[in-house]
């Protein structure tokens, strides 16, 4: 049986990492697309040669032609400008909205049955835009946010406790920005709730570092932003969908009444399988966490308002 095909729009560091993760795992053949002449083709050739060292028989192609997306089962959107030091995710909105809108129009034409995973920032607003422009069912459009933010929280927890990160299951909800909502009560270490292992002050410090996780990396890199973890997180979502794994992970999903929100995308726990976002899981939240989630939703809604005012959605 032929392998499914995954399209990756944007051949920068994040896109190339997604392509590498998907192809190396043998999940699918990969088509890498970028408007910069030669970039996607060159990286695809390099990646294809690297697979000869690892035993995967997945194919990788690259180019500027959106026709490479024809028939893809999933498409990951990473195209856009990255953050620079001192730049917030919301600063990216105007430029990246034009890029994501053009990409979504091509996905609608070329891969009408695809699941779409959005990585471009500001993540939740761009996910909403992709959903509106493609016209796809809400289940088939999701944003890669909570998977990454939860991985960052899990890493910081494991480092603080000096335990394996594989024993930590973290949960971070809300928008992919400064208002994200780490949930200590729903974060466990080998099944033990985090508040039983760390003080409230220690947890608060780890939560704050998680909120600033992307900016911290930007401050070190100076001229770029994180890409290994974002790429791996997007590839994990693709794997869950194509392999029908039905894993419960936090992702930016279209809400229609869940968590008392509707007509926006927000990071919430979802079950990812062959149907995309097969269901949204509503967790019991403390009053404080619910208020924080509402604040985060309001931030996303403000970005969506800007989209509408500028004619993108």
Residue 157: closest CA among 147, 165, 149: 165
Query: What's the mean per-residue pLDDT of the chain?
Result: 95
Work out the burial of residue 224: count CB atoms within 10 Å of its CB; fewer than 13 is exposed, 13-18 middle, 19 or more buried: middle
pLDDT at 225: 87
Active site positions, annotated: 176
pLDDT at 94: 85
The C-alpha atoms of residue 250 and residue 141 are separated, in whole angstroms, by 14
pLDDT at 88: 62
Span of 177-181, 188-192, 289-293 with lowest mean pLDDT = 177-181
Alpha helices, H only, 85-178: 93-110, 123-134, 146-161
Rg for the chain, CA atoms, rounded: 18
Domains, the chain: 5-143 (3.40.50.720), 146-309 (3.90.110.10)
Span of 52-56, 99-103, 120-124, 295-299 with lowest mean pLDDT = 52-56
Task: Please check whether residue 74 is in contact with residue 4, taking contact to mean a CB–CB distance below 8 angstroms.
Answer: yes
Task: Please check whether residue 136 is in contact with residue 111, taking contact to mean a CB–CB distance below 8 angstroms.
Answer: no
Q: What is the pLDDT of residues 123-171, one digit of tens each?
A: 999 999 999 999 999 999 999 989 999 999 999 999 999 999 999 999 9
The tokens for 140 are 């088939």
b (16+ CB within 10 A) / e for 299-308: bbbebbebbe
pLDDT at 22: 98
Q: What is the pLDDT of residues 10-59, one digit of tens each?
A: 999 999 999 999 999 999 999 999 999 999 999 999 999 999 998 899 99
- pTM for the model: 0.96
- What are the beta bridge partners of residue 74? 6, 115
> What DSSP assignment string belongs to 176-209?
SSTT-EE-GGG-EETTEEGGGTS-HHHHHHHHHH
């Amino acid at each position: 049986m032929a392998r499914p095909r995954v399209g990756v729009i944007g051949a920068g560091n994040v896109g190339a990492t997604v392509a590498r993760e998907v192809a190396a795992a043998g999940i699918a053949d990969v088509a890498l697309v970028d408007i910069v002449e030669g970039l996607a083709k060159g990286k695809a050739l390099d990646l294809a040669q690297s697979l000869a060292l690892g035993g995967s028989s997945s194919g990788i192609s690259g180019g500027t032609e959106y026709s490479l997306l024809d028939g893809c089962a999933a498409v990951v959107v990473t195209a856009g400008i990255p953050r620079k030091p001192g730049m917030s995710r919301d600063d990216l909105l105007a430029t990246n909205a034009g890029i994501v809108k053009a990409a979504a129009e091509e996905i609608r034409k070329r891969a009408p049955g695809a699941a779409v995973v959005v990585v471009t920032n500001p993540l939740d607003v761009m996910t909403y835009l992709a959903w509106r422009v493609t016209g796809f069912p809400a289940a088939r459009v999701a944003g890669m946010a909570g998977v990454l933010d939860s991985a960052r929280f899990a890493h910081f927890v494991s480092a603080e406790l000096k335990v394996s990160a594989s024993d930590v299951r973290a949960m971070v909800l809300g928008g992919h920005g400064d208002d994200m909502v780490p949930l200590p009560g729903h974060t466990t270490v080998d099944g033990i709730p985090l508040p039983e292992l760390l003080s409230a002050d220690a947890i608060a410090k780890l939560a704050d570092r998680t909120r600033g996780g992307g900016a911290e990396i930007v401050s070190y890199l100076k001229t770029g932003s994180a890409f290994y973890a974002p790429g791996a997180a997007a590839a994990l979502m693709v794997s869950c969908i194509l392999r029908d794994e039905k894993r419960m992970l936090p992702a930016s999903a279209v809400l229609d009444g869940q968590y008392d929100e509707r007509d926006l995308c927000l990071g919430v726990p979802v079950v990812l399988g062959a149907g995309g976002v097969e269901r949204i899981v509503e967790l019991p939240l403390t009053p404080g966490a619910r208020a924080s989630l509402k604040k985060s939703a309001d931030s996303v809604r403000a970005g969506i308002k800007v989209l509408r005012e500028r004619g993108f959605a």
